[in-house]
Amino acid sequence: MQRRIFSLAAAAVISVLLASGAYAADRQKIVWLQWANDAQQKAIDAVVTAFQAKYPIDIEFEFKPGSAEGENLVKTRLAANDMPDLLTYNSGSLFQVLNLEKNFVDLSKEPLAAKLLDSFKTTVAAGKGFYGIPMQPIPAGGIIYNKKVYASLGLKVPRTWKEFTSNCEKIKAAGIVPVIASYKDDWTAQLLLLADFYNVNATTPRFAADYTANKAKFATTPAALRGFEKIQEVFTKGYINKEPMSTTYDMAMAMLASGEGVHYPMATWILASINSNFPDKINDIGFFALPGDSSDKNGVTLWMPNNISIPKTSKSIVAAKKFLEFFVSAEGMAAYMSVGAPDGTFAVKGVKLPDAVFPAVRDVLAYVDANKTAPALEFLSPVKGPNLPQICVESGLALKTALECAKEYDRDVEKQAKQLMLPGW
């Protein structure tokens, strides 16, 4: 009798073990190297959950730091053939330096290829293929502003730099900070210059190509130099807040939401963060394109969304491709938008945005619908100097003249071009 109980128990244990073994074997695991604290993580988690419910594939995240630190990590892991199955990365010049044809799986033969906008695909393309799908809505760069303050002071959205400065004078006279400068996080200092690229492109359409070929420079192209001058002007005219070197991105966001500061040169990726930190203020926030010198040429500079790609060393390429297909499918996009309105349009064709998008996103869409957009320089040229943030801070605190800063940046760019071994440098 005892023996029988024992064998029954043993059989039960074994069958449980077998079942769980079979269960584990049924479900495949893929690993995704993603940024820590990504503003879009909530939406991404929703897509992952929907994907895991539909397919027997589990996705596990590995997190990497942002900016240069994370870039180093990826470069090192690529060189050591130690990449996971999915990778999130910036599109454009930063992605291009990773030697795409050698290191990533070409997606141009996949069904998803037909769904993506060409303007996005070119930023992740090399040779005949392209190597990533958009991970987030398309961010737009310009001035994020507080509509409530605009309404209370009776101001109108400026279409030229002159109108912008006269608005700033009125805001300053009212005792409010006209322009928020958060130079402690020095990457934010460059947004004013980078978002000004629509204006550069409008007056000097050949700039991006000439710049890549070492024929045009920031210091000698008046329209490009304006970017450095504008950063300096908001300082010399006293528009920016006190203590810019101690103000962080997060503090700037709080200033903007509360109306303590009115204009913040930034891109729309900030909207998701404002929405989660100050949900009652998101409807006070609007957007307008960075004003140029003439009102008929005024448009918005678009960033291209960060991308998800599949490293060639992945052992689960089929499963990873399944995920990318799912991500850009109607189902995937619906899951993405299930956690809240997206902060821009998608680079995926035929995705309908919900009616309840943020007011700032509606402002951006007006420019997109009027076809007044240009991609940021880093998506048209692989050349981007790594010291631009600090150089913009130098200009923004008037440590050097705008022209000196432009010259300094031109030299910084030269190093990058030589490192990339571009022709003409």
Using CB under 8 A as the criterion, which residues of the chain lie in contact with another protein when the complex forms?
A: 68-69, 71-72, 75-76, 78-79, 97, 183, 186, 242-246, 385-387, 390-391, 393-394, 397, 399-400, 408, 411-412, 415-416, 418-419, 421
CB of 390 to another protein, least distance (A): 5
Those residues whose C-beta lies under 8 Å from the C-beta of residue 182, and which sit 6 or more positions away, are 188, 189, 244, 247, 248, 249, 251, 252
Task: Select 55 or 235, whichever has its Cβ closest to another protein.
Answer: 235
Query: What is the length of the chain?
Result: 425
Task: Locate 312 and state its tokens.
Answer: 């060639």
Calpha distance 231→240 (Å, rounded): 10
Task: Select 259 or 386, whichever has its Cβ closest to another protein.
Answer: 386
Q: Which of 124, 77, 122 is nearest to 97 (CA)?
A: 124
Task: Select 93 or 298, whichever has its Cβ closest to another protein.
Answer: 93
Other Cβ atoms within 10 Å of 315 Cβ, number: 10
Task: Select 60 or 250, whichever has its Cβ closest to another protein.
Answer: 250
CB of 91 to another protein, least distance (A): 17
Query: What three-state secondary structure class fits 303?
Result: coil
Q: Which of 344, 295, 286, 326 is nearest to 140 (CA)?
A: 344
CB of 138 to another protein, least distance (A): 26
| CA–CA distances in Å: residue 189 to residues 45, 168, 235, 298 | 31, 18, 12, 21
Task: Select 257 or 393, whichever has its Cβ closest to another protein.
Answer: 393
CB of 385 to another protein, least distance (A): 8
Task: Select 127 or 279, whichever has its Cβ closest to another protein.
Answer: 127
CB of 282 to another protein, least distance (A): 27
CB of 42 to another protein, least distance (A): 29
CB of 212 to another protein, least distance (A): 17
Query: What three-state secondary structure class fits 163?
Result: helix
Task: Select 220 or 419, whichever has its Cβ closest to another protein.
Answer: 419
Calpha distance 272→11 (Å, rounded): 54
Contact criterion met (CB below 8 Å) for 97 and 123: no
Q: For the chain, what percentages of helix, strand and coil (3-state, to nearest 5) are there? A: 50, 15, 35
CB of 313 to another protein, least distance (A): 14
Task: Select 105 or 392, whichever has its Cβ closest to another protein.
Answer: 392
Calpha distance 239→241 (Å, rounded): 7
Contact criterion met (CB below 8 Å) for 397 and 244: yes
